[in-house]
Amino acid sequence: MSSLILQGVSYAYNGTKVVDDLDLTLGKDEIVCLLGASGCGKTTTLKAIAGLIEAKQGQVFIDGKLVSDANTFVSPEHRNIGMMFQDYALFPHLTVANNIGFGLSGMSKTDKQARVDEMLKLVHLVGCADRYPHQLSGGQQQRVAIARALAYKPSLLLLDEPFSNIDTQVRFELIADIRRIIKAQQVSAVFVTHSKEEAFAFSDTLAVMHQGKIAQQGTPEQLFAKPSSKEVAEFLGQGIYLSATALTATEYETQFGVVKSILPQQHAVAEKGVIYVRPHQLELASCNNNELQCECVTILSSRFIGSAYVYTVVIAEQEIEVAAQYGQSFEINEQVIIKIKPHTVNFFKS
Amino acid sequence: MTYKFQLSKWQLIAWSTGLLLSTPLFFLLVESLQGDSEVFTHLWNTVLWDYISNTVLLVLGVGLLSCLIALPLGWLTAYCRFPGKQQFEWALMLPLAMPTYIIAYVYTDLLDYAGPVQITLREWFGWQSPSDYWFFDIRTLPGAIIMIALVLYPYLYLIFKTALREQSFKLVQASQLMGLSAWKSFFKVSLVLSRGAIVAALALISMETMADFATVSYFAVSTLTTAVYDTWFGYYSLTAAAKISGVMLLLLFLALITERFSRRNQAVFERQSSVNSEALYILKGKSAWLATGFCSFILIISFIIPMFVLLKYAVMYFDQAWNSEFFSYAWQSLKVAAVVSAVTITLSVLVVFYQRIAKQANPLIPGRLASTGYALPGTVLAIAVLLPLTLLENTINRILTPYDLDIGLLLTGSLLTIIFAYIVRFYAVAHGAIESSFSRISPSLDMASQSMGKSQGHTLRLVHLPLLRRGLLTAGLLVFIECMKELPAALLLRPFDFESLATHVFQYVSDEQLELASISALFIVVVGFIPLYFINRSMEQRS
């Protein structure tokens, strides 16, 4: 059974549609990430799931139960949802133990205590039960927040950019930690972020949002290798567009020669369009061995990143940074040729 | 399962509060616009224009004098370093705690024919009778202007000082590099940039001046405030009193509009993120002494002399002043103030909570409605409160007459009226304080609590109230003190057996016997220091 279904959900602020006819399905114990630039409607979607705002249209089902449609609105306190906030939202006047126990109701005191202890153990904060939130480090506060959100066994966990306040050095360690905790508790989760690195590290599936809609949903690998639209392709990594004409299912004519695709693509032969090329699929070479007589580009600037030089070049009127191979070096203003390595080509019809 | 389209109880509470507390103003507006009143027509044809011109002159005079006192003080303390600057900075706001009638009494006592100043002068110069010399008569309109300005200038001083602090020194420095003298840059840069703040402060001072009853009544200068009072006690004509109040409302409205408008202009100016803490000018030699001298002079005449006289009275007349009257009136005042604080705090928590959780349109309206009473002068408020309550009382009595029952003056003859009036008047004080405490609570705490299955009422009890504890205390204290100090509304509305500390002191002022109530007066002044402490602290937190 799906733990969450959104069907045609819409929401508008002052007449501007922020979430527009959005569909999303989440399997049992799955962690899905809503990924998108700021303002794409991802936090609004999260709030609509939690019931913190009322979706104007569409239906929301949690664990198969209808919680929101044109006639029904279950208020947040009756949805049995766990939520983790960007600022953690720990109650400053309560101890760690009381924060974790806040959502436990209808339980005997001993059961409550036992559950709090269990959660403290799960998040490795056994000694901190009587401390107050301000006495904890950022990472500890975050673990209290996750323990609190999971303590009352919610049907669904929502996470609103929970890692954005964490230092980059420890961020991925914590992401792994929180992921382990969620998996251990066997709960489905919706995670919102604008950082694709966090999304790749944390989620089972990605749902890229664009202009209030889910542009594409799938595993990180699927989305990266085979984006369904230009927006998804651009969001998941920098790149450039090159005009191309399909020669066969695996070959494309471009201004830099023929580009080969590893996998055959679905399109008509001789179709015109563009291909999206990412920096790591490019190679720079000196113009001296330009046997194919293809177009040269100029090196604009260079930057040393330790293992190699990265050069900025302009290709088809788009600036892009391409890493040189180890030991390779070019002068500024030097003419170079661009080679495109064979890869799974992303071809978009024009 | 909960369904949509329900009227929430929070909405109901907030709107009821807003409507209830704005009822007096509504009644006043209706009453002052409708019908004809013989008394009012009579007043209109005879003295009312004098009252209006006195009021306008008083407001203009106090505004001008406040500028002359407060603008130099604000500039000196914000931009300069001179001996005693740090102490002056907070001491100069102390006069705010001094009720005008006390300072007016003290100076009358000092400066009239039998007072120590004139006696000394007569001794020095050998004058025999009043015809031998001319001396300034304090019990006049100019005298009232000086007395009121000495007490109200701190509003302008505080607001102007803050505005200067928030302007970057670099602006002044830049103007000086471009060749402006300190004097010129004050006029061309500092003053122009703080124009909005100055106008807002002057509007506030005008409102307080119009509301002042005690000084003008004691000096027998007839203004609109005293006219409202006299019309009610002289003619017992609510309609006429309401009409005069209507004239005052018009003037007040002008002041309010000016204040709102200047605040809008103020928002345009860019604020620097950090507040200046170092001095821009370090005064030395003559200019330093001039600065210290000016600050000392203002502080001495506005605060130290009246305080000193009051202390002297208290010591000299301790046996007469330290009596059961003081305790019984203090106790009565405390009781009323405590009830009013508790009710206003409760109501404002509920209204502000509704503002926070409301999903309906215009959630701020109930709070705005409930706060309208704050702009009303005490005398006007009293009339405004009497209008709906007498109507209610009469209606109940008319319904009960066939049953041979009568509640008499159950409402207007009891403490209920005064309590209701205070709640209407001071609701805004509590609302403001609680709103600012609420705004410091992150909205995600509400969402967290709700997502964990707590209803809105539970969230209020378990999360908000514990976090608001200090804010509630501050708000309660501020309302409490305002209640202790309020005079004109209490004079008009008190039942026969009720006397508050303020009315008690004023009674003795009117009878030229402040000495006998000196401990009560001292108590009022000292209690008035408490809100100043909070103002000072909040300003220090900003800097």
Domain finish residue from A228, A261, A279: A228
pLDDT at residue B238, rounded to an integer: 82
Residue A109 inside a domain? The answer is yes
Q: Where are the beta strands (DSSP E) in B9-112?
A: 80-81
Q: Nearest-CA neighbor of B228 among B220, B219, B218, B238?
A: B238
For the stretch B430-485, pLDDT in tens is 998 898 888 888 888 999 999 898 988 999 999 999 999 888 988 888 888 888 88
What residues of chain B lie within 8 A of the CB of A103, using their CB?
Answer: 451-454
Residue A93 sits in the same domain as residue A215: yes
Q: What span, in angstroms and rounded, lies between the C-alpha atoms of B92 and B319?
A: 32
Residue A181 sits in the same domain as residue A92: yes
Say whether A74 and B462 touch across the interface (CB within 8 A).
no
pLDDT over 80 (residue B270): no
B444 touching chain A per CB within 8 A: yes
CATH T-level assignment (fold) for domain B7-32+334-494:
MetI-like fold (1.10.3720)
Using DSSP, state whether B499 is helix, strand or coil. coil
What residues of chain A lie within 8 A of the CB of B448, using their CB?
Answer: 83, 85, 89, 91, 148
CATH number of the domain to which A58 belongs: 3.40.50.300
Residue A45 sits in the same domain as residue A63: yes
Give the total residue count for chain A: 350
pLDDT over 60 (residue B51): yes
Residue A82 sits in the same domain as residue A184: yes
Residue A117 sits in the same domain as residue A243: no
b or e along B109-139 (b: 16 or more beta carbons within 10 Å of the residue's beta carbon)? Answer: bebeeeeeebeeebeeeeeeeeeeeeeeebb
For the stretch A227-249, pLDDT in tens is 888 888 888 888 888 888 888 88
- B518 touches B537 (CB < 8 A): no
Residue A233 inside a domain? The answer is no
User: What are the tokens at B240?
Assistant: 């006429």
pLDDT at residue B310, rounded to an integer: 92
Residue A157 inside a domain? The answer is yes
3-state SS of chain A is CCCEEEEEEEEEECCEEEEEEEEEEECCCCEEEEECCCCCCHHHHHHHHHCCCCCCEEEEEECCEEEECCCEECCHHHCCEEEECCCCCCCCCCCHHHHHHCCCCCCCHHHHHHHHHHHHHHCCCHHHCCCCHHHCCHHHHHHHHHHHHHHCCCCEEEEECCCCCCCHHHHHHHHHHHHHHHHHHCCEEEEEECCHHHHHHHCCEEEEEECCEEEEEECHHHHHHCCCCHHHHHHHCCCEEEEEEECCCCEEEECCEEEEECCCCCCCCCCEEEEEECHHHEEEEEHHHCCCCCCEEEEEEEEECCCCEEEEEEECCEEEEEECCCCCCCCCCCEEEEEECCECCEEEEC
A-B interface: how many C-beta pairs under 8 angstroms? 77
Residue corresponding to tokens 């991925």: A172
User: What are the tokens at B125?
Assistant: 């110069």
Residue A264 sits in the same domain as residue A127: no
Residue A306 inside a domain? The answer is yes
* Architecture field, domain B50-221+276-316: Orthogonal Bundle (1.10)
Domain carrying residue A283? 238-349
pLDDT at residue B449, rounded to an integer: 92
Residue A218 sits in the same domain as residue A255: no
Residues 6 or more apart from A291 whose CB is under 8 A from it?
none
What residues of chain A lie within 8 A of the CB of B466, using their CB?
Answer: 93
What residues of chain B lie within 8 A of the CB of A75, using their CB?
Answer: 2, 450
Using DSSP, state whether B81 is helix, strand or coil. strand
Residue A173 sits in the same domain as residue A298: no
Using DSSP, state whether B324 is helix, strand or coil. helix
- A342 touches A261 (CB < 8 A): yes
**Averaged pLDDT for residues A260-281:** 84
Least confident of A65-74, A181-190, B270-279, B502-511: B270-279
B359 touching chain A per CB within 8 A: yes
Least confident of A112-116, A198-202, B211-215, B410-414: B410-414
Residue A212 sits in the same domain as residue A254: no
Residue A300 inside a domain? The answer is yes
Instruction: Provide the domain count of chain A.
Output: 2
Residue A319 inside a domain? The answer is yes
Say whether A85 and B448 touch across the interface (CB within 8 A).
yes
* Secondary element (H or E) of residue B166: helix B141-166
CATH number of the domain to which A291 belongs: 2.40.50.140
Domain definitions of chain B by residue range: 7-32+334-494, 50-221+276-316
Q: Nearest-CA neighbor of B332 among B520, B519, B525?
A: B520
Give the total residue count for chain B: 543
Q: What is the ipTM of this complex?
A: 0.76
**β-strand A31-35 against A188-193: which pairing, if any?**
parallel
The domains spanning B7-32+334-494 and B50-221+276-316 adopt the same CATH topology: yes
Half-sphere exposure at residue B489, Cβ-oriented, CA atoms within 13 angstroms? 28
Q: Between A87, A105, A158, which is nearest B453 by CB?
A: A105
Residue A192 sits in the same domain as residue A292: no
